[in-house]
């Protein structure tokens, strides 16, 4: 592809499919030399739920790897290092690991102090405690000073499962995205988690990264590269757009594939970065499909759905349906049972989107 491309003076190339992958490429000339810049934007999806990976283990492994590259990276935990998998970093760099105990507010304040002295702190605990118990410290200690603190909330959403409502963070994304200077990211699988942690370690500023407790099927392959400014179209379609992130991306892909069999063409967009959100892709979807549906493991108030509605109402008014947890606390149960109970599994998504489509189109 590269060799042939150098014979043409073309400003923009779209390769629809190459080895089940999709790229866009920009060619330009600089000082007599021709350059080709590729951007990985999607591929044909094959989800295998029998081959799941732990995103938390990938988080721990990647953190330890980045710690080898940058001795200023330090890790703080709130007595949950086995659950968050920061133990991998602790085992390798015990002098750079701080167990703050069940004192999450102190953990964030300590992380802020370390960041002020040039360290790159990753502070990890369950999402419920990482954002709820520590809100004041995050707002005034970290974000007000625009400090380089990375907050990683594991066990996000209802998929905490049997731990129940007290441990199920359904408001964390809403809390974090409203704070100035904060970046909010929700990886969808192991590969995206790896890419996000590497990005966080290399880029300055406060970040909140939300991880799932559950093992997740692979969505992205080794060619995927995380782009903080870009949502990813993983399934193209012309009738309906599904916007989602985290562990529900695979459910949306499976739902879209089933809906296409019934004649409903569904576009699936992975939106890992809730803030700063990719407005361009969302507006394009509103223009090019009949309506939008957001699907999130979070309250429908203040999360991804709200962020999408804010973009739409201010730029290209269109109908948006929000699927998630509607103004209620979670409950105890196995994670897959709770996903089904709240209508977030692929089977229920197919039914709900069919109903929406019938009402909107007919």
Catalytic residues: 104
- Alpha-helix runs per DSSP H in the chain: 2-5, 55-69, 81-84, 87-92, 104-116, 127-131, 135-136, 172-177, 190-202, 249-261, 279-288, 304-315, 335-341, 346-361
Report which of 187, 214, 215, 208 is spatially closest to residue 52, judged by C-alpha positions.
215
Sign for the CA dihedral angle at 5, 269, 211, 120 comes to: positive
CB 128 within 8 A of CB 166: yes
Rg (CA), the chain: 21
The torsion angles phi and psi of 209, rounded to 5 degrees, stand at: -120, 120
- Alpha-helix runs per DSSP H in 170-248: 172-177, 190-202
- Residue carrying structure tokens 């150098």: 6
Lookup: tokens for 142: 């970290």
> Strand pairing of 12-18 and 21-30?
antiparallel
Widest CA span of the chain, in angstroms? 64
């Amino acid at each position: 592809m590269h060799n042939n491309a150098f014979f043409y003076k073309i400003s923009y190339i779209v390769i629809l499919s190459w080895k089940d992958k999709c790229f866009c490429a920009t060619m330009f000339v600089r000082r007599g030399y021709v350059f080709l810049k590729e951007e990985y934007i999607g591929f044909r999806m094959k989800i295998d739920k029998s081959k799941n990976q732990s995103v938390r283990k990938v988080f721990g492994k990647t953190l330890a790897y980045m710690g080898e590259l940058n001795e200023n990276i330090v890790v703080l935990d709130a007595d949950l290092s086995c659950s968050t998998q920061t133990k991998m970093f602790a085992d390798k760099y015990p002098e750079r690991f701080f167990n703050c105990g069940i004192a999450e507010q102190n953990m964030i304040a300590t992380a802020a102090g370390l960041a002020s002295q040039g360290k790159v702190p990753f502070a990890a605990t369950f999402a419920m405690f990482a954002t709820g118990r520590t809100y004041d410290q995050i707002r005034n200690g970290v974000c007000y000073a625009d400090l380089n603190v990375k907050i990683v909330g594991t066990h996000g959403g209802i998929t905490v499962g049997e731990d129940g409502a007290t441990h199920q963070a359904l408001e964390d994304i809403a809390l974090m995205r409203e704070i100035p200077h904060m970046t909010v990211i929700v990886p969808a699988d192991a590969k995206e988690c790896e890419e996000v942690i590497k990005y966080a370690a290399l880029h300055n500023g406060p970040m909140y990264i939300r991880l799932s407790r559950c093992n997740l099927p692979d969505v992205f392959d080794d060619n995927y590269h995380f782009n903080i400014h870009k949502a990813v179209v993983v399934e193209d379609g012309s009738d309906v757009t599904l916007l989602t992130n985290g562990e529900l991306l695979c459910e949306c892909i499976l739902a879209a594939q089933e809906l296409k069999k019934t004649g409903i063409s569904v576009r699936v967009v992975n939106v890992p970065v809730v803030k700063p959100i990719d407005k361009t892709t969302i507006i394009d979807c509103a223009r090019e499909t009949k309506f939008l549906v957001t699907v999130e493991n979070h309250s429908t108030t203040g999360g991804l759905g709200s962020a999408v509605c804010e973009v739409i109402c201010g730029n290209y008014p269109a109908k948006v349906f929000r699927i998630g947890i509607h103004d209620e606390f979670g409950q105890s149960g196995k994670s897959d049972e709770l996903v089904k109970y709240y209508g977030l599994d692929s089977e229920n998504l197919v039914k709900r989107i069919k109903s929406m489509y019938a009402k909107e189109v007919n």
